[in-house]
Structure 1
């Protein structure tokens, strides 16, 4: 193998490390929900402007991820599921992560402001600040409600997408925000139930550690009930419709059944089957969110062809 080939492979590995720093899995969700918020808005956007806007939101999400990994490097090195992240593994230095996060944040906010409007840029700036400072630096290590309040950071992207198109906020964008906000606690608490030792080892006051798994199970079901109400309410707004409502009913029955099953279980039940129900419900929660926003996207496409609307019912 030649020296040039070795050099190329080394460069590719480094690029992969920097990309991982921006939490690409989280970025996928951010990009998708922001795109849906943009597309379902009642005001059309130039495709190039829309592309730039979504790119800025994605870069902003990546910046938030880099800043979060910079701050959480100490606990990431302790938890099994995060020990191989770029900083604790030694692939990226903390100072590099901080510089990347700050640079990308500034780039995304300024470009979004220049390409769209002040509200969209302001919401993006607040989202980055909320995730990097309010959640990562304060809530995550200080309260068992970290996931509840911190969930707002992941809920803003569709609202930003809507603001790009309309320069405003509406009931529809608030409900899209609320859907993600209410979904976040049961989604992450289901995860916490089967990676329970990680958070305790790192000293993170996750609800499973501070109040126990029985209380966590109750909270999962408690948050799932209003989540169902928000999801169905969204179906009767201007961006909803018959198709969305059918999908929402199916997904909410599916997810609610999983949360109810978790609520009924004991620690002995979970240990006996290696947390099978909790793991399955966590996976269902991922389909749940993508399914709702996917259905909103389909409704928007159908409306463009005059094929479905509550006005005709």
Structure 2
């Protein structure tokens, strides 16, 4: 009888109860509805504002906040979420706007609950309008929250186990690649910090440590930084062999890029490492947000806090990129 190493390195994925996922999804939807109003105001998307326009949006903001309390979601929202919803219109700060990164978490929760058929490629976003429509929740109407959550109180209808495992594996592969890119760019600084004889507590506040924390890089991965130029091609080859990435380009994860021609749009592929910093950050945030949703849903993360993602290396006992294949 063949000894299957990977079966030992797997644990059965156990989801939280479906109603907990539905409640978390509902909290996100209210905050993201508010995020949409605040972002539109910040960017001036409404054009010239009138007193009536502003008054209407203030009432919309107040209705969303009231819906949180009337629906009972205040018992399930995080402190940060409640604080954001309770702030007056147009008083959000930078950290509040960053919560928009949770659109991808929202999408994963909706997928687990069966409200989305697929999870887009990790260089693409969920369709936000479709996400909002799929729950049937109208953020200013608390009764629609109950209509969405209610069926999940007596049902555990969620993603099928094998499909869930595959999507978790894919998420792990992309979050690993995103972290690898950060380490690739900082490997000289990390090597210099390691060779420094002074390792005082003040190092925790160094620019390097601040960057690594901000980009949620686990301490256990930092020792791999120096060898990242060799490790990334190996990881890419393994991920492709396991079907975790669709294709490779230049020995790296392939990213589909649309290029506009004179008369049409051409889609081509480029290596992950060839992206500019703006696109690297965007893909990293997609991966982190989806990873958080899976980790929390599977009780690998106790808190809904993107800042703590860096404390979690993987959801599986070993990251899917490095889990041995079944023999």
TM-score normalised over the length of structure 1: 0.31
Kindly indicate which of the two structures has a greater share of residues assigned to helix: 1
User: Which one has a larger percent strand, Structure 1 or Structure 2?
Assistant: 2
Higher relative contact order (CA 8 A, sep 6+): 2
TM score, norm. by length of structure 2: 0.30
